[in-house]
Every structure is written in C-alpha cells, then in structure tokens.
Amino acid sequence: MIAVFLSRLLLYFTAVSAVLFHKGIAVSYDTAGIVLYFILIPVMAVFGYLPSRRTLRTGTGMTLKVSLVSAAAITAVTTLFFAGMGAAPWKFIGYGAGAYLLTLALFRFKWFSVSALEVLFTAGIYVRLINFTRGSEQIARTHEGFTRVLLFIALGALAAHILVLYRASATEHRAREGNGQGRKPLRDYLILLLVIVPVLLVSALLVSPDYIEHSVVFNQLFNKAEPDPSPIDGNPNRDPGGSIRGNEGLETRRGRNGEPGLSGIPSDQWGEQTGGGTGIDKQYAVMVVASKQDPVYLADDYKDRFDSREGFYPSADNPLNELVFTRFVETWENPLGLEDTRRLPTDVAVFSVRRERVLAYYPVKAAPLVFNTRYHPFNYSYESVSEISIADRWDWTQVPELSDKERTEYAGDLAVPLDEATEKELKAYLAGILDGSESPGEKVLNILMSFKEHQYNLGFKEDTSVAFIRDFLLVTKTGDCTEFSNAAALLGRLAGVPSRVVTGYLASSGLQTRSHLFGLYNLKQNMPPLEKYPIQDLFLVTTAHRHSWPQFYLPGLGWIDFESTDYAIPPPPGGDANEREVVIPLISEQTVRGENFRMPWRLLFQILVTGIVAGTAALYILQGFVILMLKRKIRTPSIAGVRAAERLLLISLIRDGKPPRRYSQTLTEYADTLEGIRDMNEFAGLYNELRFRLHLRNFNDSYTRLASLCRSIPEKAKNKGFSAALARLFSLKGLRYL
C-alpha cells in the first residue's frame, strides 16, 4: 500500500504546486496557506496512513489511538499559531480532519472508493487551474506551451494514481479470497492501460490552445488616441504622491462642452507602458471601482514614520503596506478587531491594470487577486470589504482628548522631530489658527481651513522634505495634493493629533466628468463583470486620480481619511490633471484566433527524462534504505527481527532471479518450490517456530541460527558470472516486498 500512499501524495502536491510555477497564475500562497496546504494536510495524511491494518495486526508501530491523539495535537498547534481569527481556524481544522479521515478510510478500512472520489476531485482542480491559466487569448498564446505541459503532467499523475489504485484493489481482493489466483498483475496493467492511455492522449492533444473568445468593436468614442509610451504610474523617478485636487465639482471641468475629451485605444495596443499619466494632455484608465460608498480612498502606501529632514516615510513593519503586494490563495480576513464607531462595512470591487492591490481603510476582508486577460488591460480583479468611516463634521468636533493609553499607543504617530528653528516657525503658524481650546477634531478642521490662502496647482516636483513643506506653508503657498497632505499631517502632529500621510487613488463622483461617465458606459457594455453594478456605483479611476491625503486619529472614531485640498484656492486653467483628455481601452468582443500551436516536444522530452531518472534514483535509494534498515533489525533478537529476516531473504532471492513468493503461499510452501536450496526448508521451520510459538525457551539460539541462514542462503544460491552480478546490482525486484 506504500505505492498507493506515495502516488496519492504525488497527485496532491502536483495540484497544489501548479500555481507556483505557471506565470499565467498571479496567485501565490501566504504563510497560513503554505502551512495549511504544504505542511498540515500532508502530515495529517501521514498520520492517517500509519495505523494501517498490517501494523495493527502485528502489534507494532503506531496504534489508532496514538495516531488520532497526535493528529489532533498537531492540528491544534498549527491552528493556534498560524490560522489567525475568523473562518481560518475552521478551515485548518476541517481540512486537517478531512485529510486524516480520508487517509484512514483508505488504508485502515480499505475503502478504495474514497480514493476514486479523490481522483475525480483532483481532476476537477486541474481543470480549474488549466481554465484559469487560459483566461484570455493573449495569455493562452503566451503560456500555451507550459499550459500544455501542465495538462500532460496532470493527466500523467491521474493515470499513475489510477493504475496504482487498481493494482492495490486487485491485490486486496485476491488476498481476501485467500487463493491468490485470478488475473495476473501484468495482465491487469495491460488491460487498464489499453483503456486509459488512448483517452489521456486524445484529451491532451485535442484540447485547442485558442478556444478563448475576444471581440472587436467599433470605436464609439470621440477620437482614437495613439498609445503613449510613458509608464502607467508616471515618471518612475517621481514619488507617486498624487496629482489631483479631491472632490471637485463638475463645473470646474472644461473640454468638449465644458468637459475633457474622450478617446480610446484598442485593447491589443494597450501595453504595460501605455498611458503614463505624465503626458501633457491625457489621463489614462487605471481601474474601474465598484462601491456604494462615495468617495472611496484606495490606499497603497501608509507613511507613518517621520524623519527630521526627509519628512514622512512608510515603516517596514506596517501590515497595511504588506497587503498591497501579498498574494492570497484564499480570502484574507483581518484577525484584529475594530472598536471604532461610525463605520460602515462596504464592499469594494476593483478591475485594474495594476498588479498591486489598493484597499480602503479599514480593510476587513480581501479576496485573492484574479489574473484574467479576457478584458485586457484590466487584467487584475479582486474584491474587498472595508469598514469605511461615515463620521461627519459634527462627529469630528465632539471627540474627546487623547487618553494616556492612546498617547502611549500612538506615540509613533505623534513623533515630530524637528530642528529648533523650523519647529518654532511652524508652531507660530499653528498659534495663528488655534487657540488651544479645540478638541482634536476641531484642530484638524482649523488646520485644513488654514489652507484657504494656499493655491492648488499641479506640480511635478514631488519633494516631501521638511524644508520644502515648510516653504510651501510659509513662503510659496502653492502646491498639489502632495504638499497639502504632508503639511496637514505635519501640523496635526505638532497640534497633538496622531497623523500620517497615505497615497493611492481616489474614486469619487466629484471627479467623474461626463467623459468619465461615457467611458464607464462603454466599458460596462463590453465587460460582463461590470453589468451587475449600477452605473452610479461605478467610478472610472485614471492616472489623474493618483492622490495623497492625510489620515488623522480621532478618539472613538479611529483613523479617518481627510481631504486636505478642500479649502485650497481652485487651480487655474491647466493646473488640474483631471482636465486632461480621458483615454480608455476598447475592449474586444469578436473571436481572435491565436497563433498555431507548436508542441514543445523538447521540453516534454526533458521533463520525461528528468522524471524517469529522478524516479529511478528514488526507487534505488528507497530499496537500499529498506535493506539497510532490515539488516539493522536482524541484529536484535525479537519478533520484529524475525519478520525482517524473512523480508531480507525474500528480497535477496528475488533480486538474484529466483521466482517470487505468491501472496497465497506460506513460507514453507514457497521453500518447497525452490529446488537446490537445501537450507530454505530449515529457515522456514525456524521462522514458523519463532514467529508463531509462544514462550519458546531457546528463542535466542533459534534466532541466531535463523539470522545465520538469512545471510548464508543468498550466498549459496547466488548465480555466478558477471552478467548475474550486474543484474543483481541493478535489480529493483526487491521493491515487491517493501
């Protein structure tokens, strides 16, 4: 049954490891996923295998009770340290118990139908993986060779498992009949192979590599834009601090009939560098956001540390920043509770051209990132749930002062190390807008209202140093959202309010011009996933909506997103990135066939040869290890040593070309079939005496003779000659008795 168990593990690891090697799958495992799928489930399978019927019958090895207790303890420990909170612990417990019980049913109770169901279940996983990797014509064409190899590997693993399962089932059936008669193993294999191999080959060769459908639509927009080679997130040498003034009204827009223009680029011409956002007259689509909340601040970087010269910067250990790049194979759930009031659980769906995840504060759940180029360039989609603050101006002004506990907890968000001269100047600025009696919320509002004398204007110098922010506040009084947000957070800390700077994207109805809305309408018509959302719940987020804003902590309400540009002087003509022409991709609908598929024969041959060599080497190592362990057991007189001597002798004889012992034969009957080996009958007699007679007085003497015969019989029966020695050296027939 060891072959069934190993093939079962191979089938499982092939399935769960596929996402690690295919470039077309953007999902990987987090720490909890690695522990669950690569450690806990295999370990539970091992513990389910150990109390097999043969081990229990001989009275040696792990008992069912010990196995059950050990499995429960390991599941409890891994769940406690790695599962976190929410639904994850039940998943650890359920998957671990399932792996243990299914393995126990197969190997302890010989319910082979369980393994047959596992094969069907794993086949379903392979089908989903292959369909997932072929989510569009582009990815199917780019990765079709590896996908086809994955298909062959999947079918090969399934076929091998079916063969081993069939053989084990037939062996068990013959053993129960007790006569060992019936169809021979080789004939069993040949009959099954005649059915399986043609089916698998036809399935692998006839699956079309270009079955993904796309459509071509006419350009229904105003103009057709040429692809811009600029990076999609702007100049990489710039800090992506933002370029818009939040929550502007439609009356501030200009372009056709007072609106910016709208144009489209065919999706197959929308490359990774299309639409940089640094162009003079265009803003390019970055994502479509679906949410009932308005506005939605989608964060990708929390700058919660402060340097006396460089200003705000992100800390390395902030878990909110890790969520941007972490890939989940299952829905992530925030293990930390939230006691803040005036928050509303809000579902947010994102269809993005960017791989990085953006989430609204406070994130509660985040689904795995789905990579699907069917609607290129919106290749990445995911859903999340966030507890978004719905506190209003009145709520902000009613909060109390920070408690001593909160001051200690948020000491890092209050730290503002400044040189003496700068601190004196900024505190003087604060003294002019605060009288010292305000609550934390009133302080924040007064700070923001003090910007009514500052001019908003689109800038390209993303300097967030303390010296530059000081000049913005006191001298130039002109900047974009980067300067406003960093200045607000800096003044907030000086006023005793925990503050930090957040960057990301702003989805707001105030930024949706007629051109944005018309672009959304076009995308919704050609992207079926958007059809379920009302148009009023959709936001077209472009490169112009890259944003920077401050977050302030207010007691009882928690961290709240504030718009630092609300009171600024509106930008002059040309000073707002949202005035630029809107460019969206033209999603296709008509089928476009991929290139002719070329079978990667060389790669398949390399994989086949590598697999054969590695598998053969593993079998030789396994056989050698078993022989070594049997020899060690023989050294100590015991029942286990008696059984080890029998197995070692049978392995030595079959490797030398002697006929194998049939399953229905006793050792005495087998000895009678070996003509010319005189001592074999004596060995059989000693074995039966030591193995089955209780309270044998001369056990040690008989055992010494048995061990001696175990070593001498193979030497006397050994075939002579170089060819016989070579065959004995490379024989794997001993695996029959493993």
The reported pLDDT for the residue numbered 420 is: 93
Helix (H) or strand (E) segment spanning residue 263: strand 262-266
| Residues of the chain predicted below pLDDT 70 | 1, 3, 18-30, 52-62, 84-88, 112-117, 119-120, 124-148, 150-151, 161, 163-259, 271-280, 460, 589-599, 694
The answer to whether the CB of 494 falls within 8 A of the CB of 347 is: no
Radius of gyration over alpha carbons of the chain, in Å?
A: 36
Q: How far apart are CA 350 and CA 377, in angstroms?
A: 13
Give the distance from CA 675 to its chain's centroid. 61
The reported pLDDT for the residue numbered 371 is: 86
Q: How far apart are CA 474 and CA 342, in angstroms?
A: 36
The reported pLDDT for the residue numbered 619 is: 85
Half-sphere exposure of 426 (CA within 13 A, CB side): 26
Torsion angles phi and psi, residue 558, rounded to 5: 80, -160
What HEC string does 189-227 produce? HHHHHHHHHHHHHHHHHHCCCCCCCCCCCCCCCCEECCC
Coil, helix or strand for 171?
A: helix
Q: How far apart are CA 36 and CA 31, in angstroms?
A: 9
The answer to whether the CB of 349 falls within 8 A of the CB of 381 is: yes
537-560: buried (b, 16+ CB within 10 Å) or exposed (e) per residue? bbbbbbbbbbbbbbbbbbbebbbb
Q: How far apart are CA 548 and CA 665, in angstroms?
A: 81
pLDDT in tens, 472-530: 999 999 999 999 999 999 999 999 999 999 999 999 999 999 999 999 999 999 999 99
pLDDT in tens, 431-441: 999 987 789 99
The reported pLDDT for the residue numbered 21 is: 66
Bridge-based pairing state of the strands 363-366 and 332-333: antiparallel
The reported pLDDT for the residue numbered 721 is: 83
The reported pLDDT for the residue numbered 492 is: 96
Q: How far apart are CA 37 and CA 28, in angstroms?
A: 12
Which amino acid is residue 177, in one-letter code?
E
Torsion angles phi and psi, residue 58, rounded to 5: -85, -10
Question: Closest Cα partner for 555 from 443, 433, 451?
Answer: 443
Task: Work out whether the CA dihedral 316, 347, 543, 508 comes out positive or negative.
Answer: negative
Question: Closest Cα partner for 315 from 326, 301, 327, 325?
Answer: 301
Q: How far apart are CA 156 and CA 504, in angstroms?
A: 46
CA angle 122, 126, 127 (to 5 degrees): 115
Helix (H) or strand (E) segment spanning residue 629: helix 601-634
Question: Closest Cα partner for 268 from 379, 153, 177?
Answer: 379
Q: How far apart are CA 519 and CA 262, in angstroms?
A: 7
The answer to whether the CB of 284 falls within 8 A of the CB of 276 is: yes
Q: How far apart are CA 383 and CA 610, in angstroms?
A: 41
Task: Work out whether the CA dihedral 16, 18, 21, 23 comes out positive or negative.
Answer: negative
Which amino acid is residue 160, in one-letter code?
A
The reported pLDDT for the residue numbered 352 is: 96
What HEC string does 369-409 produce? CEECHHHCCCCEEEEEEEEEECCCHHHHHCCCCCCHHHHHH
Question: Closest Cα partner for 330 from 616, 546, 31, 532?
Answer: 31
170-181: buried (b, 16+ CB within 10 Å) or exposed (e) per residue? bbeebeeeeeee
Distances (CA, A) of 6 to 42, 151, 160: 11, 21, 11
The reported pLDDT for the residue numbered 591 is: 40
Cross-strand bridge partners of residue 313:
305
The answer to whether the CB of 489 falls within 8 A of the CB of 500 is: yes
The reported pLDDT for the residue numbered 464 is: 93
Helix (H) or strand (E) segment spanning residue 306: strand 305-307
Coil, helix or strand for 691?
A: helix
Q: How far apart are CA 286 and CA 244, in angstroms?
A: 15
